[in-house]
């Protein structure tokens, strides 16, 4: 008997459902030793090199944790670069509220990070920790406690501004309008 070499995949109507291919799909695993999850996130092996590691989301976050975009620049150069990029990419700033990550994994803005630094807190500190730190600073530097002290007044204003930044960010995170 002669076998037919025809397939059910030609012409219309299609006799099998879409996504029911018989061939095995190639899945690249995470390049981290011992990880069995699919590697979907590319990461450069070295600067100016086209070769890439492929990590799962967890290991890509770990790989990028200590990366500093402004490394090697003076404070003035970093401020100039930041200002240029904010001016050029303002359209992307509008989508910041679509963030999908939690605290400590890159979801905090530069202003939030500066506020946490002013309070002496870690980047993954909770809002409650920031509130406690702000109260401590306010008790020490309030103008009613230290009248006539310009340094204390300046520290109080900086703390108030930092707390306002963190409170606004917390309100945005909690708002599910």
C-alpha 8/C-alpha 14 separation (Å) is 7
Following DSSP, what letter does each residue of 120-156 receive, concatenated? T--TT--HHHHHHHHHHHHHHH-TTTSTT-HHHHHHH
CATH 1.10.287.110, domain 105-177, yes or no: yes
The pLDDT confidence band at residue 102, using thresholds 50, 70 and 90, is very low
pTM of the prediction?
0.42
Extents of the domains making up the chain: 26-69, 105-177
Beta pairing partners, 29: 38
C-alpha 157/C-alpha 164 separation (Å) is 10
Beta pairing partners, 52: 44
29: nearest Cα among 21, 40, 39, 43:
39
Tell me the pLDDT tens digit for each residue of 131-167: 999 999 999 999 888 888 899 999 999 999 999 999 9
Tell me the pLDDT tens digit for each residue of 106-135: 677 888 888 999 999 988 888 999 999 999
């Amino acid at each position: 008997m002669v076998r037919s070499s025809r397939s059910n995949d030609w012409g219309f109507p299609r006799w099998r459902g879409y996504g029911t291919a018989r061939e095995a799909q190639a899945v690249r695993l995470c390049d981290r030793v011992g990880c069995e999850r699919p590697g979907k996130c590319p990461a450069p092996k070295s600067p100016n090199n086209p070769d890439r590691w492929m990590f799962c989301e967890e290991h890509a976050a770990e790989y990028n944790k200590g990366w500093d975009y402004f490394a090697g620049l003076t404070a003035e150069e970093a401020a100039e670069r930041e200002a240029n990029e904010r001016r050029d990419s303002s359209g992307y700033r509008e989508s910041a509220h679509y963030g999908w990550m939690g605290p400590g994994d890159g979801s905090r803005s530069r202003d939030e990070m500066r506020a946490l630094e002013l309070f002496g807190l870690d980047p993954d500190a909770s809002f409650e920790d920031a509130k406690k730190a702000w109260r401590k600073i306010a008790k020490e530097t309030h103008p009613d406690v230290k009248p006539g002290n310009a340094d204390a007044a300046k520290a109080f204003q900086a703390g108030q501004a930092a707390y306002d930044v963190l409170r606004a960010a917390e309100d945005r995170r909690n708002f599910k309008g």
